[in-house]
Amino acid sequence: MKISLNWLKSYVPIQIGVNDLAEALTMTGLEVEAVYDRYDYLKTVVVGRVVSISAHPNSAKLQCCMVDIGKSLVPVVCGANNVYVNCLSALALPGTQLPDGAVIEASTIRGAVSEGMLCSEAELGLGSDRSGIMILPKDILASLATGQPLTSALNLSDTVLEIGLTPNRSDCLSFIGIAREVAAIQNTSLSYPEIKLPEGKNAIRQMTSVTILAPDHCPRYAARILAGATVGPSPHWLRDRLISVGIRPINNVVDITNFVMMETGQPLHAFDFDRLAGHRIVVRTAVSGESFTTLDHKSRTLTADMLMICDGEKPVAIAGVMGGFNSEIEPATQSILIESACFDPTSIRKTSKYFGLNTDASHRFERGVDPEGIVFALDRAAALMVDICGGVLIEGVIDERPVVQELKPIVFSAEATNRLLGTQIDSAVMDSMLQSIGFTVEPLNQDQRNVVPPSFRVDVSRPVDLVEEIARLCGYDRIPTTFPVISEGSAQSFLSQNSREQILQLMAGLGFSETITYSFVHPQSCKHLRLEPGDPRMRALRVLNPLSEDHGIMRTSLIPGILETVSRNISRQSKNLKLFEIGNIFVSNGQDVLPDEIEMLSGLWTGARHEVSWHTPDVACDFYDLKGVVEALLAALHIHDTRFFRNAVQLCPYLKPGIAADIQCGPQVVGHIGQVHSETLSSFNIKQQAYIFEIDIRKLFAMVPDVHQTLIIPRFPAVARDVTLILSKTIESSRIMEMVQEMHDPLMERIMLFDVFEGGHLPSDKKSLSFRLTYRSAAETLEDEAVNELHKSISDKLIQKFDAELP
């Protein structure tokens, strides 16, 4: 909310500097977000004297003026016909930005040089006169020379505070509200505007009536009528006030309602009384499906729970939100019904949300207006209208109040307050603190008080609300700093957090850069992964109000995010990428229940195997590079029983068939690894091979052992023997290794594959695999002969089992 200091001074004297004031307001909970000079935009507008006028060479409408601005003469082309030699006017120099957004530049206008612009009041935002350039009174130069800033010549100075109000402080949504806070800060008094109204018989009751059919939604409705008014532009002072806080002046009636709303916080509405059918007001909820055209000329369909202000026949305003086109104040309007009412915040909010209509009025009603301030605001507006619009105020006021909310006292304990704040404030001091901001305090006993908040503090209802007031008034900086006394027993972190942290560190150590991508992805991303309709990853949760279609669903896989990252980096010429991400995926169980959230790890390698350098050839990475990473990761986590199985295509349709595997740890499949399918790659516009894995790390967490047994380092030497088998290409190497391991020979320590060969002299359906078997005894040094015998027996079994040959 914008607060003009000049305006604020009407209610409270400002005795401290503006920066101190801003700081003090911030420290009482009214955050001043910005402080600025209202007339900053006029700093390059100066007082100039027109010293000569000549005809424009190419235009009959324009004239060429020379303007004296003290240190120089400036040529200016001017189109106004009130310019004359020796007149004093306002010259906007190049660089000035006028309130309408136009920027003044030095230019040539139809062949004549112009280095500034002589402006009208309206152009400068200083008035409504746009008939000609602003003519300044001659005596203005008594104290100033030409070339002085216009702001000093006219004594224009105002500071605007931009205050960010929290939703609880509806009492501060007005100048009087802010003035109340300033008065409390300075310990000065507040002056309310004086209202003088001709009062007499209650004549208004003969002219109109207000019927409240929905008292739950409208606890109070007050009205006055002004007859014979003249609708027209507001006087300068009123327009200026509104402009100073960013409200556009409309006409005197509407401007007055806005002015009083800014002054008191009470939104008002003015109806053209003659256009109200039956000359009366009925407050009721809408008829469902009824349509209604608001002031902004939009037709809106109403629902049954919306509160409407109606006349004898039809709605004329959406209560507390926006008036109706059908009862709008028009130039010809003569009789005005002024509404000042109190509406249920929830009802107003629902309606305003429903229509997406957040108005100054709805903003205040949603937060709650002072039910006791309604008639004051109404009277203030009526008095101003009599002054400004003329006409006759009908005597009397309508004030329907079906529900009077009693102000219930709150039981307040000084001791409990001190305990919660960690302070030792004397209860008498607390009493006077509360009294200083308008609360009534009635002692119950030494410690307890009955406290009644002022009517404008609609946010205060609980003892803790009073604690807050005490803390605020005491000053947070004066509350002592202490440490909580709490037993430490409960603090323990969970295994999953340790394991996740370990995985993060390991992946970085293995050369991968961690990425974090948005949890929402494009709905097409499931299609890009080539998922079949029945795939669980097709069960994506939709976001109802995404920022864009790109963020339409919650991800069911980390892979789209990581591929998008690859695509973006490649387009920025980074082609060698090792990336990983840890994050949740979301598998929907229907839009109305919580989804399954599964924490996944994904890793991707694309481009070079090594950082390319003088000693390292540029070789592309392959499946086995990434598989090695997964193996290293699992081994480092002490998850040993790990196997890779050729993957069934339907599990990972985004992987290339034949170059895809399930990762199995113990009895469980924990993830998948493989080369990304070319169709998936092209969906992400990636033109190089990429290898990817995805692991459900919740499953890993469960397998990471708490403690693990250290193996004894053997004392006796090992003996190695090699065997090369020529066998069918269809036999996976792991089967041979597993078979050897399953023999469980106590002397066979390890089998390692050290060479794979295809082609050459081998038949096309054969390959040659070379294994190194390591033999060792824990009890003695093995004899060569014993090893040879054992090795032959193992080799023979392999040859037989796999129909292999020796080379």
- Each residue of 701-729: b (16+ CB within 10 Å) or e? bebbeeeeeeeeeeeeeebebebbbbbee
Task: Write phi, then psi, for 317 (nearest 5 degrees).
Answer: -165, 150
Residue with tokens 């980074």: 574
* Sign (positive or negative) of CA dihedral 648, 649, 650, 654: positive
- Among the listed residues 189, 490, 709, 730, the single contact to other proteins using CB under 8 A: 490
When the beta carbons of 541 and 786 are compared against other proteins, the nearer one is 541
776 to each of 67, 640, 739, 755, how far by Cα in Å? 106, 21, 19, 22
Q: Per CB under 8 A, does 367 bind other proteins?
A: yes
Q: Per CB under 8 A, does 542 bind other proteins?
A: yes
* Sign (positive or negative) of CA dihedral 252, 258, 260, 263: negative
Q: Per CB under 8 A, does 777 bind other proteins?
A: no
- Among the listed residues 289, 331, 356, 484, the single contact to other proteins using CB under 8 A: 484
- Among the listed residues 483, 707, 744, 800, the single contact to other proteins using CB under 8 A: 483
- Among the listed residues 175, 355, 412, 512, the single contact to other proteins using CB under 8 A: 512
Alpha-carbon span 300 to 794, nearest angstrom: 86
772: helix, strand or coil: strand
- Among the listed residues 72, 299, 481, 764, the single contact to other proteins using CB under 8 A: 481
Q: Per CB under 8 A, does 807 bind other proteins?
A: no
**8-state DSSP, 235:** P
C-alpha closest to that of 638 among 720, 562, 704: 704
CB of 562 to other proteins, least distance (A): 9
- Mention every residue, 6+ apart, whose C-beta is less than 8 A from residue 287: 302, 304
Q: Per CB under 8 A, does 713 bind other proteins?
A: no
Q: Per CB under 8 A, does 34 bind other proteins?
A: yes
Q: Per CB under 8 A, does 429 bind other proteins?
A: no
Q: Per CB under 8 A, does 494 bind other proteins?
A: yes
Parallel, antiparallel, or unpaired: how do β-strands 513-514 and 577-587 relate?
Answer: parallel
Q: Per CB under 8 A, does 467 bind other proteins?
A: yes
Q: Per CB under 8 A, does 565 bind other proteins?
A: yes
**Residues in 129-158 that interact with other proteins by CB under 8 A:** none
When the beta carbons of 248 and 542 are compared against other proteins, the nearer one is 542
For other proteins, how many residues bind (rule: CB under 8 A)? 97
CB of 690 to other proteins, least distance (A): 14
* Segment contacting other proteins by CB under 8 A, of 137-145, 211-219, 480-488, 789-797: 480-488
Tokens of 280: 């009366």
Q: Per CB under 8 A, does 476 bind other proteins?
A: yes
- Among the listed residues 79, 193, 546, 653, the single contact to other proteins using CB under 8 A: 546
- Among the listed residues 471, 503, 526, 723, the single contact to other proteins using CB under 8 A: 471
When the beta carbons of 31 and 395 are compared against other proteins, the nearer one is 31
| CA Rg value for the chain | 41
- Each residue of 321-340: b (16+ CB within 10 Å) or e? bbbbebbbbeeebbbbbbbb
- Among the listed residues 111, 235, 511, 658, the single contact to other proteins using CB under 8 A: 511
- Mention every residue, 6+ apart, whose C-beta is less than 8 A from residue 796: none
Q: Per CB under 8 A, does 759 bind other proteins?
A: no
Q: Per CB under 8 A, does 424 bind other proteins?
A: no
CB of 573 to other proteins, least distance (A): 10
Q: Judge contact between 623 and 675, C-beta under 8 A.
A: yes
When the beta carbons of 577 and 670 are compared against other proteins, the nearer one is 577
Q: Which amino acid, residue 570? A: I
When the beta carbons of 200 and 484 are compared against other proteins, the nearer one is 484
Q: Judge contact between 290 and 301, C-beta under 8 A.
A: yes
- Mention every residue, 6+ apart, whose C-beta is less than 8 A from residue 289: 301, 302
Task: Write phi, then psi, for 554 (nearest 5 degrees).
Answer: -80, 140
Tokens of 756: 């794979």
CB of 2 to other proteins, least distance (A): 17
- Among the listed residues 487, 730, 764, 800, the single contact to other proteins using CB under 8 A: 487
When the beta carbons of 464 and 649 are compared against other proteins, the nearer one is 464
Site string for other proteins, 604-643 (x = CB under 8 A): ------xx-xxxx---------------------------
